[in-house]
């Protein structure tokens, strides 16, 4: 098939999913065209069957903001036409499904089908804003196939938008050959023998509740000498630094900033923490499980679809800091439980969230979109 993919190029789960999907499709012989504003962070070196098309947005004094979404729409139309794309798979309704809609309007009669994958924020956060609600709804209703990365997100989308469009759940996935357990010397860079390492990776948005996480760590560290590795950056970073110094945790908490390659950090850690108040899936929790790491997290959104509570990790309600700390301590003090959950996490990641299976699911959806197109 000839497939276009649009996604955010910045570090994050949606970019990781879109890019890994594109690379896997290309390996399976499809022609894949990334239509983007910048090179997606996981694209890396040259790949056969992959083409990159970057939108170059003009600026002009009259325009208060650069017209990125229109430039992207025009580029989508150009690529669809030039390469006769059959599928355009966009990741996020806002702005990409809307740009895809505009692109199709520019090409009346062209049979390209649009598949939109919802990753969360446009539905769970942005659609709460009245000024964006209708435009997101337009993107959804004008797509031929809509997928969501969890059943929870699919449900929320239906409830919020009252649309008839069926929403198929295709969970996030991992490559178990990239994320796997193994001994690593990296531990010694952060912790002394006997100390435990807790890990969190996010973009430090408010929804990630990084301040709760630091409080959880503070309680754990009072009983069990530990280190906390914080990977990523974002709006809550300075508040996080302030809290760490207010609690006297400097030297115990390591701010590692944005990191592209995180597989080794999972292997070096004992526990993964994800205490978000909104989380459509939680790809990082899945990467942790695949690496043999138990997860302590909240029951928000799609997290319980990833982390089997009591089997591959332990979950508590959002904001329940003392309970989360208690769960983390239970896992860090009970070696047998820790080992059992780590092994079960790896097995669950492979059985349910394997890259090749999810790519095949997307291929089936593309076929379905093409059949629908022929029937109309």
Binding site for ligand GMT (CB under 6 A): 12-15, 17, 119-121, 149, 172, 203, 205, 207, 278-283
- Give dist(CA 306, CA 299) in Å, integer: 10
- Give dist(CA 329, CA 216) in Å, integer: 10
β pairing state of 271-274 and 87-91: unpaired
Structure tokens at 342: 């780590």
Q: How far is the CB of 298 from ligand GMT (least distance, A)?
A: 12
Residue 277 or 309: the one with the smaller Cβ distance to ligand GMT is 277
- Give dist(CA 73, CA 84) in Å, integer: 16
Residue 23 or 252: the one with the smaller Cβ distance to ligand GMT is 23
Q: How far is the CB of 286 from ligand GMT (least distance, A)?
A: 8
- Give dist(CA 19, CA 155) in Å, integer: 25
Residue 156 or 226: the one with the smaller Cβ distance to ligand GMT is 156
Residue 191 or 324: the one with the smaller Cβ distance to ligand GMT is 324
Q: How far is the CB of 126 from ligand GMT (least distance, A)?
A: 11
Residue 236 or 279: the one with the smaller Cβ distance to ligand GMT is 279
Q: How far is the CB of 278 from ligand GMT (least distance, A)?
A: 5
Q: How far is the CB of 58 from ligand GMT (least distance, A)?
A: 26
Residue 200 or 227: the one with the smaller Cβ distance to ligand GMT is 200
Residue 283 or 321: the one with the smaller Cβ distance to ligand GMT is 283
Residue 338 or 358: the one with the smaller Cβ distance to ligand GMT is 358
Note if the bond before 95 is cis, omega within 30 degrees: yes
Cα–Cα nearest to 297, from 267, 276, 326, 270:
276
């Amino acid at each position: 098939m000839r497939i276009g993919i649009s996604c955010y190029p910045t570090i994050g789960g949606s970019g990781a999913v879109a890019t890994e999907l594109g690379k896997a499709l290309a390996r399976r012989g499809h022609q894949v065209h990334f239509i983007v504003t910048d090179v997606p962070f996981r694209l890396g070196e040259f790949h056969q069957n992959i083409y990159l098309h970057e939108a170059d947005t003009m600026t002009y004094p009259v325009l208060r903001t650069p017209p990125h979404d229109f430039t992207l729409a025009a580029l989508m139309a150009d690529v669809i036409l030039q390469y006769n794309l059959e599928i355009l798979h966009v990741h996020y309704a806002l702005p990409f499904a809307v740009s895809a809609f505009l692109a199709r309007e520019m090409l009346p009669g062209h049979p390209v089908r649009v598949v939109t994958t919802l990753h969360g924020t446009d539905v769970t956060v942005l659609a709460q804003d009245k000024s964006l609600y209708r435009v997101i709804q337009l993107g959804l209703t004008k797509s031929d196939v809509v997928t969501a990365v969890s059943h929870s997100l699919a449900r929320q989308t239906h409830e919020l938008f009252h649309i008839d469009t069926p929403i198929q759940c295709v969970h996030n996935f991992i490559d178990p050959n990239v994320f796997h357990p193994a001994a690593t010397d990296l531990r010694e860079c952060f912790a002394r023998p006997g100390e435990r390492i807790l890990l969190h990776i996010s973009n430090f948005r408010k929804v990630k509740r990084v301040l709760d996480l630091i409080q959880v760590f503070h309680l754990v560290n009072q009983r069990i000498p530990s280190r906390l590795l914080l990977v990523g950056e974002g709006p809550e970073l300075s508040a996080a630094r302030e809290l760490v110094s207010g609690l006297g945790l400097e030297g115990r908490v390591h701010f590692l900033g944005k990191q592209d390659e995180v597989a080794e950090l999972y292997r070096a850690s004992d526990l993964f923490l994800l205490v978000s108040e909104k989380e459509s899936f939680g790809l990082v929790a899945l990467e942790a499980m695949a690496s043999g790491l138990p997860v302590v997290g909240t029951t928000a959104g799609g997290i319980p679809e990833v982390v089997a509570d009591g089997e591959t990790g332990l979950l508590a309600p959002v904001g329940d800091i003392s309970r989360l700390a208690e769960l983390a301590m239970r896992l860090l003090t009970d070696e047998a439980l820790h080992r059992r959950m780590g092994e079960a996490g790896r097995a669950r990641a492979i059985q349910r969230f394997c890259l090749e299976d999810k790519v095949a699911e997307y291929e089936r959806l593309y076929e379905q979109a093409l059949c629908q197109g022929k029937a109309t």
